Structure 1
């Protein structure tokens, strides 16, 4: 389904494939040879989404562009099923596996691998060719890699990366009620969406 959102329409190369049941919303550009499979959602929430040539976004993956943090998927990239790429840059030939999450401001270098259920935190940079092991967390610039049981060490690096400011535009002391009130108002823009196809 193609959706006009915030006044912008998706631009899909005639040499790309968007499977039935995929949703492409707003300022999204899909280049030649790209394949967007069933249930995938590519949504430009006040920031562009670009999918490069011959890249594949598999079933039920989410790719979201946001203000100040476009989602830029390079050429020859694989985004696995149920993966989450939110306001991040993914370099050519990179692999984001099933269930992996890449957060706003992150950069995944050319040929890097974010393996099953791994996480690349906000404002983190993976150098080209870096591998984040299954279930591990990459934090910082340059990225440090941690197993999930090392929470205190992860937090020591992550705290300075400003997740609330980067993702929600608020300081750490802001309560969830206020954050969600802002998020609810922001996503109300979908009330004016228009289905194109």
Structure 2
């Protein structure tokens, strides 16, 4: 289904195919020859989302933009089943395998591979042709690609990237961090109460 959100509805190229059970919400442009499969959710939370030519978004994938971090997905890119992209720029001919996670402010250049259940963390830059192995984590700029077993090093790098500050505008040391975070984020998400379905 297609929904208008914050007064803007999706624009879908007539050659693109969107499954009946996919949800496309807000300021979303889906380019020529794209395929959006069953259960996929592409939702603009105040920032635009653009899919180039021949992008494939597979079953149950999630693509979300924010007012600070739009999403752009380049031509001939595949977003695998249950993958998640939040506020990131993805280049042409990128392969994001099943279960990958790409976080706000990340940039993935052309012809990269992010393999099954791998993570590209907040504000991380993957140069062209990079590979993140199955289950590994790419973090930082310049990037370090690390196995999940190196959780202490990943945490050191993550702290510098400041997830709660960058994404939610909150200091990690706030005593009631989760209270403030959920209340602030909840108010933002409540704007969907005004969404309305639109015809394609």
Alignment gaps of 5+ in structure 2: none
Aligned residue number for residue 53 of structure 1 = 53
Within 2, Cα distance between the matches of 1:107 and 1:168? 19
| TM-score, normalisation: structure 1 | 0.98
Aligned residue number for residue 44 of structure 1 = 44
1:168, CA displacement in angstroms? 1.2
| TM-score, normalisation: structure 2 | 0.97
Aligned residue number for residue 116 of structure 2 = 116
Within 1, Cα distance between the matches of 2:193 and 2:37? 25
1:24 aligns with 2:21: no
Alignment gaps of 5+ in structure 1: none
Superposed CA offset, 1:96-149 (max 9, x none): 110000000000110001110000010000000100000000000121011001
Within 1, Cα distance between the matches of 2:83 and 2:190? 25
Within 1, Cα distance between the matches of 2:57 and 2:109? 18
1:74 aligns with 2:78: no
Moved more, 161-170 or 5-14: 161-170
1:192 aligns with 2:197: no
1:70, CA displacement in angstroms? 0.5
Within 1, Cα distance between the matches of 2:119 and 2:40? 19
SS of match in other structure, 1:185: helix
1:19, CA displacement in angstroms? 0.8
SS of match in other structure, 1:176: helix
Q: Aligned-residue CA RMSD in angstroms?
A: 0.7
SS of match in other structure, 2:85: strand
1:173, CA displacement in angstroms? 1.8
1:93, CA displacement in angstroms? 0.2
State the number of aligned residues. Answer: 197
Aligned residue number for residue 97 of structure 1 = 97
SS of match in other structure, 1:138: strand
Within 1, Cα distance between the matches of 2:117 and 2:17? 26
SS of match in other structure, 2:3: strand
